[in-house]
Amino acid sequence: MVLAAGLGTRLRPLTTWLPKPLVPVAGVPVVRRTLRHLAAAGVEEVVLNLHHLGERLRSALGPACEGVRIHYLEEERILGTGGGVRNALGWLGDAPFFLVNGDVVIDPDFKGLLALHERSGAAATMLLRAVPDAARWGAVEIDGDGIVRKLLGEPDGRLTATMFTGVHVIDPARVGPLLPEEGCIVRSAYRALVPRGEVAGLLHTGSFHDIGTPRSYLEANLAVAGASTFVDPTATVAPGVRLDRVVVWPNARVDADVEDAIVTP
């Protein structure tokens, strides 16, 4: 399941007319990057939940994209990560499944994550990053065996403090009954499972980029592109125009010098 219903309020005004999962990073919509990674891991079918500008997602991706069949679930109101999954349980079935935030720019080891999930016998397995400012993101603390022991508290140094990447594997039989009708899966189901030692965590060592705000979105584009400026091939830049730390979206036109900016049509 790819979570794609959110409003993307922190990324406005970009998300005023485009749902966050469709925002391009180095020319490729975020959700298409996710679908590519899922397909490479052997996933054949995905459910996307829709709310904000959902028809744009449906129109852009169609019934299949990047080799993955897509089933869409409309949400009349935003249900959150927990409520969204609960609403999709009838479609997801009984086997463990991947759950991915639709706005995450990452190259996840899906196969390694599933292997750890099966080895550990966990109800849920989170893909985590060891970062120095874990508390800022809501610390997820794991022990030496990769079991999550503390959630969303202030790290005390006795465990490895990490941040959650928004990628996990879930056993619906054990997590499903704990999901709220509306709300966050971590603050509801995982809070109940962590004291029992039923949530595992795999450390992610690959790339990860936050695109929550226009500033972090700009930085993510330049990092993924590996350049000081990225211009989509369908965009037009007038002769002699200088660009510095700029991302130019598809079909945009630039007629003057620009720096430190995102240029859209």
Copy the structure tokens of residue 185.
């899966």
Pairing verdict, β 64-65 and 68-74: antiparallel
pLDDT at 260: 95
| pLDDT of 173 strictly over 90 | yes
Asked if residue 49 lies in contact with residue 87, where contact means CB atoms within 8 angstroms, the answer is: yes
DSSP 228-246: SEEE-TT-EE-TT--EEEE
Residue 130: pLDDT band by 50, 70, 90 thresholds?
confident
**Pick from 39-48, 79-88, 144-153, 155-164: least confident:** 155-164
**Pick from 31-35, 89-93, 143-147: least confident:** 143-147
Rounded to the nearest 10 degrees, how much is the dihedral formed by the CA atoms of 172, 177, 183, 185?
Answer: -40
Residue 54: pLDDT band by 50, 70, 90 thresholds?
confident
| pLDDT of 154 strictly over 70 | no
- 228-252 tens-digit pLDDT: 999 999 999 999 999 999 999 999 9
From residue 175, alpha-carbon distances to 122, 192, 222 in Å are 10, 9, 38
Would you list the domain boundaries of the chain? 2-209, 234-263
| Homologous superfamily of the 2-209 domain (CATH) | Spore Coat Polysaccharide Biosynthesis Protein SpsA; Chain A (3.90.550.10)
Rounded Cα gap, residues 89 and 204, in angstroms: 27
**Pick from 144-148, 197-201, 217-221, 257-261: least confident:** 144-148
From residue 109, alpha-carbon distances to 41, 127, 205 in Å are 8, 9, 9
The DSSP call for residue 151 is: E
Rounded Cα gap, residues 26 and 218, in angstroms: 10
**Pick from 39-43, 132-136, 204-208, 221-225: least confident:** 132-136
| pLDDT of 155 strictly over 70 | no
pLDDT at 193: 94
Copy the structure tokens of residue 168.
């996990």
